[in-house]
Chain A
Amino acid sequence: MFEAILVMALGAVVLGAALGYAAVRFRVEGDPLVEKIDAILPQTQCGQCGFPGCKPYAQAIAKGEADINCCPPGGDEGIHKLADLLGREFKSLSAEHGIEKPKSVAVIDEQRCIGCTLCIQACPVDAIVGAAKQMHTVVAPQCTGCELCLPPCPVDCISMQPIGESVETWKWKYPVFKINPTQREAA
């Protein structure tokens, strides 16, 4: 009995010491996981997840402080990718953070804009140009559709307009699959 305790204690001390030493000796800084998560997020910077941007959300996911289903612009596909990366189960989008919408851009009604610059300050990607007391306009290709410019506008002159399909952006549809009726509905 005594011997057993002695041996186990000895083992614990030796291995513990070795591990402790190694932990100090071989410490490594940095966390590449955040970068990988951030690469999956859509970079809308909309803050619907409850964090002030995509990077902070990525950091929160990496730390385990946030769930993976809080990003409406990323949609189910984004959640699938995050689940794959982190080896977690897929969860459908959390309703409290919003719903997946078709991609749109903000458009400023130039008749009503008073040039207050509040939307310029709100835009996370500097996609609105203009100066004080001058009309503002949205640089459409740079707009992420985050809707953050909508609430600050005192005259409600900003609206979201879905991006339409053109011959150039048209996508071939999933072939009509005649075998499995359920798949046809899905497609």
Chain B
Amino acid sequence: MNAVQRLFGFHGGVKPAYNKEAATGLPIAVAPTPTLLVIPLHQSIGGIPRPLVKAGDRVLKGQRIGGADGNVSSAVHASTSGTVVAVEMRLMPHTSGLSALCVVIEPDGRDEWIPRQPFDFRSATPTQTRDYLRDTGVVGLGGAVFPSYLKLNPGKLGKLHTLVLNGAECEPFITCDDLLMRERAETIIKGTLIMREMLSAGQVLIGIEDNKPQAIAAMEVAAQAANAAAGDSSIKVVPVPTRYPAGGAKQLMRVLTGIEVPHGKRSTDYGLQCFNVGTAYAIYEAIALGQPLISRIVTVAGNVERARNYEVLLGTPMRDLVALCGPLPDTDRVIMGGPMMGLLMPNDEVPVVKAANCVLVGSRKLFPPPPPEMPCIRCGECAKVCPSDLQPFEMYWFSRAKIFGKAQEYNLFDCIECGCCAYVCPSRIPLVDYYRFAKSEIWARELENEAADVARERYEFRLLREEREKQEKAAKLAAKTAAGREKAAAALAEVEQPAVTPEQDAKKALIAAALERARVQKAQAHPENTSNLTPQQQAEVEAIEARRAEIREMAKPHLRQDD
């Protein structure tokens, strides 16, 4: 330890049984290539990538099969060489049990790479780097799968004071980061140096929970080596107290720097950025080796005989992985992620995706169904453990009654769904389920309101257009009739002229002149009227257009960037 790093706490948190020993006994093994790879196109936050291949195509290992779509999106790649069998709807590793577009690849066993070459980010423009990272599909591997190219941007400050590397791994059972740090610390540090350069960051703080002494030691060695090479001590490995959820990005940043990044704000605005250690590893592979993200380390643990960490090709069915570890007979479910925040999978055939840090095998014995839910007695235990300093019982109270406005007043959207509140609740209320329910209802409603606003604008614009068309038509008609009448009057005057006396003639001429003036005035008035009105209306129309454009702009970042 170079210097004693001052640590800050965070509010709340719990200490569940960690159960990490089972999977740390053996080194990371490479999982065999399955007979069929199912690669979902949508594996990150943001837009759904467009498929770039079709059934029958031959693909190489690392070939892009899904192109990033939109400002927030990340590409996907073939995990091995083979033939595309289908591009079709397949069951997603998602609690909903719904399907989405996947590329199904039959491996040919040759494992043939695309040509790979390092990317020289130092001589590339920021846009090139951005596009390269987007197209290599690197996303946050801690579970949030936020595209990394969006985070590798120093933001409006231009540089950062601290780059935080998240090796806390606070969830029980999960050990993939632990093993990665033990075995590949040097590569992680190399990736970190690349990220630091991209972000112009000052120091690097690597936060690791103090229940992983081997990982801390390995990382310490690698960090010292890097520090020695650079001749400074800017990379620090900081053991942090073991308390769930110390590995939450916001919680870890607070523990290491004392800075709290509020919900909906970018951490770069506070001079900070945080990456998972696995992401640092993937960045190194992408930049220095030219390899896109096609595999990840996955912990297989829980109700199995031999829990272990595997390096798994993305798209491998979870069943294959579980089979490697010998599931116990009473296995009844597969969970993606840990026991505190993991998602229940619809079945065990769903593929491993970029978000899958752990395949947790469960049974009724291991994770017994909770006793019946009792009413909330407002004991406040949940508020004591909430790492976001929320009032979970109030949020629950209003979410339960579907009074979403009030739930939002209690900052529902600052909730990170860590599950601490439900973990301690003496009434055994599935609190997080209520928050998820309320959040998705509110999102749905917001989308509805946005759609209604667009519809209103369009409807009003249409009314305005119809009105304008009507007036233009009327003006044209009026001009036509005015011209016609003038002609007729002239003809009439010609016919009548010889029959009149000079006095009458003078009188008539006067009247005719007056009529003529009136006519001219009238005729002039009409076009004038329309030409006066149209710019005015035009301005209104333009204002509406501008507003619509604004709304369209506003709608864009509405992609929920929750990490």
Contact = CB atoms under 8 A, between A and B. Distances in A.
Do these two chains really belong together in a complex?
yes
Interface of A: 38, 41-45, 53-55, 124-127, 141-142, 144, 165-175, 177-179
14 contacts: A43-B459, A44-B455, A53-B463, A55-B460, A125-B455, A126-B462, A142-B454, A142-B455, A144-B451, A170-B440, A171-B441, A172-B433, A175-B434, A179-B374
Contact of A127 (B42, B374, B458): B458
Contacts of B96: 165, 167, 170
A175 B372 CA distance: 12
A172 B452 contact: no
Contact of A177 (B100, B373, B439, B448): B373
A173 B452 contact: no
Nearest to A146: B455
A54 B457 CA distance: 12
Contacts, number: 76
B326 to A, nearest CB: 31
Contacts of B100: 166-167
B458 A126 contact: yes
B434 A53 contact: no
Interface string B63-107: 000000000000000000000000000001010101010000000
A65 B402 CA distance: 31
Contacts of A175: 373, 430, 433-434, 437
Interface string B402-434: 000000000000000000000000000010011
A126 B460 CA distance: 11
B453 interface: yes
Given A171-B444, A172-B436, A179 B375 contact: yes
Q: Ordered nearest first, which 9 A-B pairs have the shortest CB separation?
A: A172-B436, A43-B452, A43-B455, A170-B96, A125-B458, A171-B440, A175-B433, A43-B456, A178-B372
Contacts of A44: 455
Nearest to A164: B98
A125 B460 CA distance: 8
A166 B265 CA distance: 28
Contacts of B441: 171
Interface string B446-479: 0010011111101111110000000000000000
Contacts of A127: 458
Interface in B32-53: 42, 48
A124 B459 contact: yes
Contacts of B48: 168
B466 to A, nearest CB: 10
A50 to B, nearest CB: 17
Most chain B CB within 10 A, of A41, A43, A55, A173, is at: A43
A170 B456 CA distance: 26
A28 B380 CA distance: 50
Given A44-B455, A54-B456, A174 B372 contact: no
Contacts of A43: 451-453, 455-456, 459
Contacts of B463: 53
Contacts of B434: 175
A170 B96 CA distance: 7
Contact of B92 (A53, A54, A167, A169): A167
A178 to B, nearest CB: 5
Contact of B452 (A42, A55, A170, A174): A42
A167 to B, nearest CB: 5
Nearest to B428: A178
A172 B437 contact: yes
